[in-house]
Amino acid sequence: MLITHDIQCALDTVVDLVNTAPEDDTAADGLPDVATLVDFVRNHEISDVGVLSEIDLSAVRKIRSCFAAVFAAPDARAAAGQINDLVAAAGTTPRLTDHDGYDWHVHYFAPGASVADHLAADCGMALAFFVVAGEQERLRRCEAPDCRRAFVDLSRNRSRRYCDSRTCGNRLHVAAYRARRKEAAG
């Protein structure tokens, strides 16, 4: 599957957006206020976004939960339904652009779209490419029992299990090693 620069940026953005959602009622929201949303937009180099407001924050949180449902979808049909709803609501308007020093690529959001519609269109289409390619199972959640962060498995053999092998993966491997040693020591 060919992953172009703009698709990679959209995938990184959607994963980071989904991972701002609180894991449960006790966890803090990763998008607590408009200032944090402004930082998110700047850090992900989201173009053509005007002044952000509480309305934008609320809309982005709403689409964040829709994207989370794509990562939780049990099959391609369910994922496609979520993506179709997101992209249709965003009012996509595909157009070629070569802004900010990047070569030609496609933007799916309409000029002047809200940040939520921008994210729904561009990120939704990036996820759609995975469903179309039969690769929906690459949209995963970390298998560490105390994590559950979203990630896109881009490994060749679709074997990635953890959002970060250096933290979640190593922590579980060390715990399993210690349990084996303890059992062997009897």
pLDDT in tens, 24-69: 778 899 999 999 999 999 999 998 888 999 999 999 999 999 999 9
pLDDT at 153: 94
pLDDT at 138: 94
DSSP code of residue 75: S
Q: In the chain, pLDDT over 70 holds for what percent of residues? A: 94
- Residue labelled with tokens 């607590």: 32
Distance CA 184, CA 176 (A): 12
**Residue 86 and residue 124 in contact, taking contact as beta carbons nearer than 8 Å:** yes
Please report which confidence band the pLDDT of residue 174 belongs to, taking 50, 70 and 90 as the band edges.
low
Going 143 to 157 to 67 to 82, the CA torsion angle's sign is negative
Distance CA 69, CA 138 (A): 14
Distance CA 52, CA 116 (A): 10
